Amino acid sequence: MQEAHWFMRFHFCLKSVPLLSFALLSAAFALGPFSPALAASPLASADLGSVKPQIDCTALMRTSLDGVATTAVTIVSASVTDTMVGQFCKVTGTIAPTINFEVHLPLSKWTQRYLQSGCGGLCGSTSVSFDQASSCAPALNGEFVVAATDMGTATKRGEPIGSFATDPQKRIDFAYRSNHETALVAKALIRTFYGQGPRYSYFTGCSDGGREAMIEAQRFPDDFDGVSAGAPAMNFQVQNSFYHAWVIAANRRPDGTPILLADKLELLHSAVIAHCDKLDGITDGLLSDPRACKVETKWIACAKGTRDSKKCLTPAESQVVRRIYDGPRDAMGKSYLVGGPLPGSELQWDFIPASANARAMSAMLGEAMRRYVIFPQSPAHDALVNNFKFDDKTFAAVSELHSLNDAMDPDLSSFSQHGGKLILWHGWSDTSISPMTSIAYYKAVQQQMGAEQTDLFLRLFMLPGTGHCGGGDGFAQIDTLTPLMAWAEKGHAPRQLVAGKIPDRDKAPRGGLPGGDMSGKRVPLSAAAQKESATRPVYPFPIIPRPIRAGDTTGTSGFAAGHSTAKEPNVVDWHGSSLFAPGFQRNYSVRDGALFILQNR
C-alpha cells in the first residue's frame, strides 16, 4: 500500500501572482519588445467581511440533510479542532453508499468563501490539504470553509488498488458524483452553521484532482465560481491505458527485461538541453516551449564498434527513446494519444527503471487502472503489458467508458454563463499526463466557443521544467488561487503568473515534488511558500517569456512576452481526436448489478 500512496496523493507548495495585460500582449507582438513597465500591480480579491457561526459546532450533528444530496447523508462527527491560526469545526460524514467527506468551518474568521480540494490518483482517503495557494492570504489565515471527499473509493487493507471499480456504483461515484454531492452537502452545512451560504465557491486540484475540477466545470457548472485545474487527467481512459502500457512495452526485450535504464537519462537530457536550450533566447537549462525542440538520438548515439556504451546510446536504446517521444502508435504509425513526453522532461521519466529488476511506477499504476477501472468488465483480462494490444479493437474497448470518466467536453458555455472562471495549468516536463492534452483541450474550447469568448473565462499556463503537479528542475512554485479569486470576484483576468524555483529542488530527483508540512495543526491551511532561487513570468499559452536584455534573466522584470518558435499544426491526426467533442458525457445508474446509461446527462 505504500507504493499505492505514492501516486494517490501529491502535495507541493506554490507562489503568488502579479499580473500583466493579456490584451496588450497581442499588441506587443506587433509593436516589438514588451515593456515590463506595463505590468499591472498585484490584484486583490473582494473585501468581504467575516461572518461568525450562529450555532455551536456540535449542533451540526443534529442537522437534517434530507434531500440535499441524491442519497442519504449521515453526519458521523462534529468537533472543534485547533490550527496554527485558529479553531475550526470539523465535520465528517458519509453520502450513501460509501462517499466519505470532511468539512472544516472556521469559528472566528470566515470571509464567506468555500474551497473544495480535489483528490489525486484513485483517491480512497479524505484529505483537506490543498495546493496552488502558498501566498494566498485567506488560505494561509484560515478564512475558507474547506472540504474534500475520498470519492467513495476507499479499500480495505490488503485489497488491490483500484478494486473499488468492481462495484458499479463506486465507479459512478469516482467518475463524477462524489465531488458534486460533497459540494451540495458542504454548502448546506455552511448555511446552517453561519446562517448564510458562501458568496464565492472555488475548486482546486491536480492530476485526477484536475480531472475532477474539469468534471465540475463541465457537468456541474453552477457548483463553483472559480476552478483551478492542474495537469488534469481529463483524457482518463486513453492516458491511463495506452500511454502507461506503451512506455513500459516500448522499453522491453522479448524476455521482458528493460532495454533503457535510468542511468542514461541524464546523458539524454543534457544532449537535449545542449541543442535546444537557446531556442527561447534564455540559457537556463529549461525549454520554454519544448515543442520547438526536435530531438535527434544521433546526438549521443554510440559510434560503430563502441565497446563501452556508458556515455552513449546503443541502437536499441535509441529506438526506445524515439518510441517514448512518439507515444503509443498503431502498426501504421498513427498515434493513439495527442502527445507523449516532451523534450526536456527526461529527468522525470520515472517509467524507466533504475535497474533490470526494479518496477517502474507506470507499471504499477497502469496495471491497476487497466485491470479494474478502464474497461467495462472489472476486473479485466488485459491488465498486464504483454496482454495489452495497441490496436483499434483495444482503443474501441477503452473508449466505451469515455462518457463516464473523461472530462474533455469543450462546451463550457453553461460554466461561462454562470460567471465561472477557469485557470488550467500544466508542467511542460510532466511525464504522467501529457502536457499536449491540456493544449488540445484549450484549442478545442477555442474552436467550440471562439477565441475571444474563451479568453473571457479560461486561461492556460504552461510551466517550464515542471513535472507532474510540481517538482522537476524548473519553475514549479505558483499560486493559482489568488488570481482565480481576483478574476471571479473583481473581474481581473490573470495576465501572467510568477513561478518560483525552489533552491533545494534545483537538482530534483526524477518525480520529485516540492513538499510542505500539511499535517497536524496545518490542516486545513495552505503551506507557506518556500524560499526561491529565481522567478519567471509565465504568460497565457502560447506566449512565452523572452529576455529583454541578453543574459539578464535574474527576475521577472528582465522578461517580455514573446513568440515561441514552435510551429502550431492545424490538425493533430490521432485516433482520439473526436474525443474532444461536446455532449459525450452521460449520467449512469446501476441496474441488475451493472452500469446503465441514462438517456440525458
Q: How confident is the model at residue 601 (pLDDT cuts 50, 70, 90)?
A: low
The C-alpha atoms of residue 250 and residue 243 are separated, in whole angstroms, by: 10
Closest CA to 205 of 187, 217, 197, 219: 217
The C-alpha atoms of residue 559 and residue 548 are separated, in whole angstroms, by: 5
Provide the b/e sequence for 196-218 (b: ≥16 CB within 10 Å): eebebbbbbbbbbbbbbbbbbbb
Identify the residue with better confidence: 574 or 43.
Answer: 574
Average pLDDT, the chain: 87
Closest CA to 435 of 287, 246, 272, 241: 287
Q: How confident is the model at residue 396 (pLDDT cuts 50, 70, 90)?
A: very high
Choose the most confident range, by mean pLDDT, from 129-138, 210-219, 510-519, 533-542. 210-219
- Asked whether the predicted pLDDT for residue 6 surpasses 90, the reply is no
pLDDT at position 11 is 33
Give the pLDDT confidence of 146-185 residue by residue, as tens digits.
Answer: 999 999 999 888 888 899 999 999 999 999 999 999 999 9
Give the pLDDT confidence of 221-240 residue by residue, as tens digits.
Answer: 999 999 999 999 999 999 99
The C-alpha atoms of residue 462 and residue 254 are separated, in whole angstroms, by: 38
Q: Measure Cα distances from 69 to 105, 145, 217, 239 in Å.
A: 20, 19, 19, 31
pLDDT at position 359 is 77
Mean pLDDT of 492-502: 92
Give the pLDDT confidence of 295-342 residue by residue, as tens digits.
Answer: 999 999 999 989 899 999 999 999 999 999 999 999 999 999 998 899
Is residue 165 a contact partner of residue 373, using CB atoms and an 8 Å limit? yes
The C-alpha atoms of residue 243 and residue 240 are separated, in whole angstroms, by: 6
Q: Is the pTM of this model over 0.75?
A: yes
pLDDT at position 211 is 98
pLDDT at position 385 is 83
Report residue 64: phi and psi, to 5°.
-85, 125
Q: How confident is the model at residue 43 (pLDDT cuts 50, 70, 90)?
A: low
Provide the b/e sequence for 430-466 (b: ≥16 CB within 10 Å): bbbbbbbbbbbbbbbbbebbeeeebeebbbbbbbbbb
- Give me 510's grid cell: 526524477
Q: How confident is the model at residue 120 (pLDDT cuts 50, 70, 90)?
A: confident
475 Cβ contact partners less than 8 Å away, ≥ 6 residues apart: 286, 463, 464, 465, 466, 499, 500, 501, 534, 535, 536, 538
pLDDT at position 19 is 36
